Amino acid sequence: MLKITFHGQACFEIASKSSTIIIDPFLTGNPLTDISPGDITCDAVLVTHGHGDHLGDTMRIATENNAPVIATFELACYLQKKGVQVHPMHVGGGHAFPFGHVKLTPASHGGMIDAEDGPYFTVPCGFLIRMEDKTIYHAGDTGLLADMELFGRFNEIDLALLPIGDNFTMGPDDALIAVSLLKPRLVVPMHYNTFDLIAQDPEAFRKRVEAKTESKCKVIGPQESFEL
Ligand code: NI
Ligand code: MN
């Protein structure tokens, strides 16, 4: 049994019996979150890309938990220079960690790393995460990708975390197409309502997913959890 907790924007904690990971820990400055980086206990930090609303509090959380950051090579190199423990990977590559297996997927988005001494660049990614007997796809920030059909064909995805905010990522229309390609058991929308520019009605999205696809959809607010 995995416990999935949402912290707003693209930040999710996934906890198994033995390990906890956090993805895209943007907490400081996140208007939807009421926890602080000091509240997080984790074994690894996964970061999809270098934008501030994803990289967020990664350095502090990784350092305080003595946890590695799992990210693309360039982002990992940048963080390592800052004294953070890292595990560099790249798109298409997978690795078995003590907590589970992680594979980096392509994502179509911007590659700039928010750094005071930048600019640094990488490519953004998503994650296919295998923990216990579950497969979770975190899309990161991305537009609709034909690749999603492959992810769906070759993985039995239990949970897909998909952006629906539009403007910077897929909006609800394309996210609905993504669901039809990925064929996940459950979809949880993310990356909406954090800022006015990405305001969406997640309940309307949920209804469309459940009317037009075989997938279930769950809308959860920040700080809410569910069991998978
Ligand atoms: Ni982004
Ligand atoms: Mn973003």
Q: For 119-135, what is each residue's pLDDT tens digit? A: 899 999 999 999 999 99
Ligand nearest to the CA of 198: 2
Nearest to 124 by CA among 68, 56, 54, 50: 50
Pick the ligand that lies closest to the CA of residue 9.
Answer: 2
Instruction: Fill in the amino acid letter for 203.
Output: E
The separation between CA 64 and the C-alpha centre of its own chain, rounded to angstroms, equals: 21
* Res 94 pLDDT > 90: yes
| Residue 155 alpha carbon to ligand 1 centre in Å | 25
Q: What is the pLDDT of residue 191?
A: 98
Spatial distance between the Cα atoms of 138 and 151, rounded to a whole number of angstroms: 11
The confidence score (pLDDT) of residue 116 equals 85
pLDDT of residue 75 exceeding 90, the answer is: yes
The structural domains of the chain, ordered by start, are: 3-216 (3.60.15.10)
Q: Which ligand does the CA of 110 lie closest to?
A: 1
Question: In this predicted model, what pLDDT tens digit does every residue of 151-177 receive, in sequence order?
Answer: 999 999 999 999 999 999 999 999 999
Q: What is the CA radius of gyration of the chain?
A: 16
Q: Quick check: pTM over 0.75?
A: yes
In whole angstroms, give the CA distance from residue 167 to residue 131: 32
> For residue range 162-215, what is the model confidence (pLDDT) as tens digits?
999 999 999 999 999 999 999 999 999 999 999 999 999 999 999 999 999 999
Question: Closest Cα to residue 101, out of 136, 76, 63?
Answer: 136
CA of 53 to the centre of ligand 1 (A): 7
Q: What is the pLDDT of residue 82?
A: 95
* pLDDT tier, 118 (very low <50, low <70, confident <90, very high otherwise): confident
Sign of the C-alpha dihedral, residues 55, 60, 65, 71?
A: positive
- Can you tell me whether residue 220 is helix, strand or coil? coil
- Cα–ligand 2 centroid distance for 37 (angstroms): 18
Q: State yes or no: pLDDT of 69 exceeds 90.
A: yes
Mean pLDDT value across the chain: 97
Q: Could you tell me what percentage of the chain is helix, strand and coil, using 3-state DSSP and rounding each to the nearest 5?
A: 25, 30, 45
Distance 36 CA to ligand 1 centre (A): 21
How far is 194 from 224, CA to CA, in rounded Å?
15
Tell me the C-alpha to C-alpha distance, in Å, between residue 88 and each of 25, 30, 31, 107: 18, 26, 30, 17
